[in-house]
Homo-oligomer: A and B are copies of this chain.
Amino acid sequence: MIETQSWRHLCTLLKLAEMGAHRRTAKISTEYLARKLGISQQSASRHLIELDRKGWIKRTTTHEGCLIRITEAGVAELKKLYSNMRFLMEAAYPPSVTIEGIVFSGLGEGAYYVTRDPYRRQFIEKLGFDPYPGTLNLKLVTEYDVKTRSELEGYPAIEIEGFTNESRTFGPVKCYPAIIENRVKGALISAIRSHYDASVVEIIAPVCLRKHLTLKDGHKVKVEILTTP
């Protein structure tokens, strides 16, 4: 989110802001800034030169110290970091989690459920794609993946309503938008079939994932689940 090279400059900028330079032109000597940063006067001087070159501060050097004002661009950098942190500290759940599982073949009922029209229409409406008729089954093999998947239950999901037709009842389904193998947008769906345990997940996508990603049974697949729908 923020380039590493910028960090050192961001620190200095933050300290300048603590001295009020983001609201008003502040008179700050390099020696004073250096003391506040715990570095040498020479380094502080260099930092200021670099920040100026970068356009993050506007500076006038006088024989009594520097008159420093953080520019719009500089303030924008600080705000970026701030809103980033605010999101981080105040969000109740992470923006995304990643799990890995091993491809295996189910009994093929996935296709049956996914293509039931009441489900399908909701997938199109709420997920934004018409799912390929079939699900990709993944077996979660590590304790970490199973735990991560179970934590998903606490996060907000896209709810697909259940329905009843002449012969039987189809339960509600929770969907989590996901990115499969960093490339394909799809969704993790839960509870279509309750007879699989917590160590199994099913993935749908607008395309046939097996073909599209040339997957075979036993392959390991990475799924990044987006928790902010």
A24 at the binding interface (Cβ < 8 Å): yes
> Of the 9-residue stretches A79-87, A110-118, A128-136, A169-177, which lies at the interface with chain B?
A79-87
Report whether B89 and A78 are in contact in the complex, using a CB–CB cutoff of 8 Å.
yes
Q: A1-34 CB contact bits vs B (8 Å, 1 = yes)?
A: 1011101100100100111101111010000000
* Nearest Cβ on chain B to A41's Cβ, whole angstroms: 14
Q: Which residue of B lies closest to A17 (CB)?
A: B88
A228 at the binding interface (Cβ < 8 Å): no
Report whether A1 and B27 are in contact in the complex, using a CB–CB cutoff of 8 Å.
no
Report whether B7 and A94 are in contact in the complex, using a CB–CB cutoff of 8 Å.
no
Count the A residues whose beta carbon is within 8 Å of the partner chain — how many?
Answer: 42
In the bound assembly, the distance between CA atoms of A93 and B17 in angstroms comes to 11
In the bound assembly, the distance between CA atoms of A11 and B4 in angstroms comes to 8
Query: Hey, which chain B residues are within 8 Å of A208, CB to CB?
Result: none
Report whether A4 and B39 are in contact in the complex, using a CB–CB cutoff of 8 Å.
yes
Report whether A144 and B25 are in contact in the complex, using a CB–CB cutoff of 8 Å.
yes
Give 9 nearest A-B pairs by CB, closest first. A20-B94, A4-B38, A82-B85, A7-B11, A82-B89, A17-B88, A4-B37, A27-B144, A4-B39
Residues of A bordering B, CB below 8 Å:
1, 3-5, 7-8, 11, 14, 17-20, 22-25, 27, 37-39, 64, 67, 78-79, 81-82, 84-86, 88-89, 93-98, 142, 144, 147-148, 151
